[in-house]
Structure 1
Amino acid sequence: MTNDNVMKIQEALDNLLESKNGALPSGFNRIRFLQNCKEYLRGIKDIDKHKDEDVAQLLFNGAVLGLDFLNNECHVIIEGNSIKFQTDYKGEKKLTKKYSVRPILDIYAKNVREGDEFREEVTDGRPTVYFLPQPFNNSKIIGSFAVALFADGGMVYETISTDEIESIRKHYGKNPNSDSWEKSQGEMYKRTVLRRLCKNIEIEFDAEQTLAFDAGSEFEFNRDPRPQQQSPLNILEVSEVAIDETNQE
């Protein structure tokens, strides 16, 4: 991308930030966001084939949510002639933790591979999740789960098998054959189960943020046939959930 293309997109983005300043989150650093977007754009191949205003609008979605493109919290995805905004697993964790009405201590998703030990149990009337991954396990992913730990001691979780994820991808994915599924399968699986978990967490977004968050999804979960499920208890506990996220997809 040429400097001229970058400058035109930057100008269009700056105009959006100015005209819709009220939609930006508290503490938003406009100068840093513009600088990071400028650097980020230089690494995107074929971005100059799309309208400056369209690219700027996608970047603005990240601004509304308070996400950083350069830090891989969200992305501008080009596939064929289409271009779209997409949140990353890292960004979705950040958003859910920040905007949950019920304060969250931690939230994460894990992929379960063949050879790992995973089970759901009910102990003394309380559902628990047990996960013991094999070290450096690169076997086939057989399912994924996501956990949210609340400041009040409560917990909610969600589990999805690989077969179900692939069914969701096929029937409800916005672009089920995208390169993201081939190049970043583990991250896409974690994003899927995390999005499902978020249906049971009350998120306090304004209207503009809701639109941006929905645009960043890989799925149209409003068409997800499975009914929303609520945990039977307000306080659940988790047992032996894996700690090191750096070694597990």
Structure 2
Amino acid sequence: MVDQNNKLLVIHNNLEKLLDSKREAMPRSFNKTRFLQNCMTVLQETKDIELCNPTSVARTMLKGAFLGLDFFNRECYAVVYKGSVEFQTDYKGEVKLAKKYSTKPVREVYAKLVREGDEFAEEIISGNQTINFKPKPFNNGEILGAFAVVNYMDGTMAYDTMSKAEIEIIKENFSRRSKQSGEYSKAWVVTPGEMYKKTVLRRLCKNIDLDFDTIEQQQAFEDAGDMDFNQEIKPQQQSPLNTNAVVVDGEYEEVNENKAEQT
């Protein structure tokens, strides 16, 4: 216990120095005293935190400060894994960030699980896409997939859907932990439903124009996602208008026939 207390004191001092040196990158409403207190309360209950490098821990907690997220309220986590610590947002934190940093005012944003027995349908009404979801009360059936919705103040909306199979492919191929070690983070094991919701919400956020105040916030947001969607392999599609062009990331690229023949 003495060793842990000493480590926590070093972490506290390191974190306080970092917060002071980076105060210009913090949200306007940031409360340093409360943030420090909440961090230390959480770290006291974090198993094996004494095995981690104090500077690394302080830098991990700093990412929560950049984003204005609260570790104590479970908006984000410091996850200990084999002597290192990783920063992850919770689903609640993702919702908070989408609402706060969307350039287009958001009324509400959320993600839901679709289980066996629920009614779920995608429809096009008067040329506008929409979804209808009628969950079965207190449904504990098998998860079939998840969807995320953002409703804007101007009455428009956007959504994304993912089947369970799609999410599992993302988890297996684009989870940062699995790519590094072949293992999954504790959140995938303990709360898979929350990770399903976070995954589809993260993908929806790619289509929500998020404008962070600082580069530190942008980087912290990227680091917080267990899924690295930037590594997704997008299949090339033949353009129906030009047989010498393919569609890559939504844009047409000309194919050099001579180069193709040489290869």
Structure 1 and Structure 2 fold alike (TM over 0.5): yes
For these two proteins, the number of residue pairs brought into alignment is 229
Aligned to 2:191: 184
Shift of 1:145: 0.2
| Aligned equivalents of 1:21, 1:80: Cα separation in 2 | 31
Q: Quick one: which of 197, 212, 218 aligns to 2:220?
A: 212
1:131 aligns with 133
Are 2:89 and 1:81 equivalent residues in the alignment? no
How far is 1:198 from its partner? 0.3
> Which of residues 100, 108, 111 is equivalent to 1:109?
111
Distance 2:208 2:111 in 1: 15
Q: Distance in 1 between matches of 2:50 and 2:123?
A: 53
Given residue 60 of structure 1, which amino acid in structure 2 is its aligned partner? L
Q: Could you list the runs of 5+ residues in structure 2 that have no partner in the other structure?
A: 179-183, 235-247, 251-263
Q: CA deviation at 1:89?
A: 0.4
Q: Report the residue type matching 1:183 in the other structure.
A: V
Q: Which residue identity does 1:190 align to in structure 2? A: K
CA distance in 1, matches of 2:137, 2:81: 35
Alignment of 1:195 with 2:202, yes or no, is yes
What pairs up with 1:119-198 in 2 under 5 angstroms? Answer: 119-176=121-178, 177-198=184-205
Match of 1:10 among 9, 12, 35: 12
**1:199/1:228 contact within 8 Å kept:** no
Output one character per residue of 1:95-122: Cα deviation in whole Å (capped at 9) or x when no partner: 1100100000100000000111101011
- Give 3-state SS (helix, strand or coil) of 2:176's partner: coil
Q: Percent identity?
A: 48
Residue number in structure 2 paired with 1:40 = 42
**Hey, what's the Cα distance between the residues in 1 that align with 2:177 and 2:249?**
23
**8 Å CA contact 2:151, 2:157 repeated in 1:** yes
Instruction: Give a deviation string over 1:194-245, Cα, whole Å, max 9, x none.
Output: 000000010011211111001101011111234878xxxxxxxxxxxxxxxx
The C-alpha deviation readout for 1:55-76, integer Å capped at 9, x for no partner, is 0000000000000000000000
Q: Give the aligned partner of residue 95 of structure 1.
A: 97
* Residue 58 of structure 2: aligned partner: 56
The offset of 1:53, in angstroms, is 0.4
The structure with higher relative contact order (CA 8 Å, sep 6+) is: 1
Q: Counterparts of 1:66 and 1:228 in 2: how far apart (Å)?
A: 32
Q: Distance in 2 between matches of 1:120 and 1:91?
A: 27
Classify 1:97/1:5 alpha carbon distance in 2 versus 1 (closer, same or farther; 3 Å): same
**Offset, 1:8:** 1.1
**Residue aligning to 2:243:** none
Helix, strand or coil at the partner of 1:219: coil
Of structures 1 and 2, the larger Rg is shown by: 2
Please name the residue that 2:255 is paired with. Answer: none
Where does residue 239 of structure 2 map in the other structure?
none
**Pairwise CA distance, 1:82:** 3.2
Aligned CA distance change for structure 1 residues 228 and 71 (closer, same or farther; 3 Å): farther
Query: Which amino acid letter does the alignment assign opposite residue 23 of structure 1?
Result: A
Q: TM-score, normalised by structure 2?
A: 0.84
